[in-house]
Structure 1
């Protein structure tokens, strides 16, 4: 597992800030952004379906410490197929069992929130993170997970970055769950 440390501003105590986990799910390299802003990529030596168990276990290890998971959804044309769909199923099951709500953000919506363009490439996403937050990441999985967490924080009134209103408006396309009141 590789990780990067949060920017100093991301670790400041904020009282009632929701604890959000950003997840860019993949069977080979799942990117994550923890509630403190640190990011990483979950990789392992496991083979085949055992990777599903490893990813599920890793997410379950954080379930008690989060209020919401924000997950990059599958592209519309791939919703019913493939191993990534199996990863989504395993992770969603863990979250449901733990009582943790989650929001699904399509890749196009995430890209539009981060860059203003729904068809932005990985480089544009990384440049936007560098420009808006001074953040650099070990890989694009971490970058996407960080943007997912940023979108969740923005949606629930605890934004750590500022994006133009037109980009924020893209978050209206997401079915955001209601969060229980977060303890201070």
Structure 2
């Protein structure tokens, strides 16, 4: 069985963090304004859709002010993933933070420190860090962990509705 090719996405209308299947991270920004940003983000994700087995996306916060705008980004990205037959998993912010740090209310600094401690990774911004942790969670769930995590933190991934992957990439 091969390692699943997982794309981690921390979606935002202004700065979408991503972690590519090879571990490279970045933040998608651009000069686009308004709804054209949706098209640009959708196009960027579409450019990777044929080369991934799964996208792991940070879910919308339940009561966030920006949930409406971020929801539009989610809709654009989920649509392109569905059009390309790419399954995706949604990880709530609290679950992601608990997986990475052991605390569901961890702040951005704690997430960055956990990545530095566990993997020796530093990122240009918190969007990249979250995307990297999303990818790491997906790899861990499917039996290809890149970092050693305590069992209690790994158990947090049980809260996610993980899709079944094809036999050639399953754990």
Mapped partners of 2:65, 2:77: distance in 1: 15
Q: Separation in 2 of the partners of 1:78 and 1:96?
A: 25
**85, 95, 102: which one aligns with 2:71:** 85
Contact 2:61 2:67 in 1 (8 A): no
**Structure 1 residue 154 and structure 2 residue 140: aligned?**
yes
Indicate which of 95, 101, 112 corresponds to 1:115. Answer: 101
**Aligned counterparts of 1:83 and 1:77: Cα–Cα separation in 2:** 13
TM-score computed with the length of structure 2 as normaliser:
0.96
Q: Is the 8 A contact 2:16 2:27 kept in 1?
A: yes
Residue segments in structure 1 that go unaligned for 5+ positions in a row: 1-14
Alignment of 1:111-150 (within 5 A): 111-150=97-136
Structure 2 unaligned regions, length at least 5: none
**Which of 98, 102, 106 does residue 84 from structure 2 map onto?**
98
Aligned length: 169
The equivalent of 2:161 in structure 1 is 175
TM-score, normalised via structure 1 length: 0.89
Asked if the contact 1:22/1:146 (under 8 Å) is kept, the reply is: yes
Which residue number corresponds to residue 21 of structure 2?
Answer: 35
Taking the aligned partners of 2:65 and 2:140, their CA distance within structure 1 comes to 26
User: After the TM superposition, which residues 5-84 of structure 1 pair with which residues of structure 2 at under 5 Å, given as runs?
Assistant: 16-78=2-64, 81-84=67-70
Aligned partner (choices 136, 155, 163) of residue 149 of structure 2: 163
Q: Aligned-residue CA RMSD in angstroms?
A: 1.4
**CA distance, structure 1, for counterparts of residue 29 and residue 168 of structure 2:** 31
1:46-80 deviation per Cα after TM superposition (whole angstroms, max 9, x unaligned): 00000000000000000000000000000122499
For residues 182 and 79 of structure 1, the distance between their equivalents in structure 2, rounded to whole angstroms, comes to 41
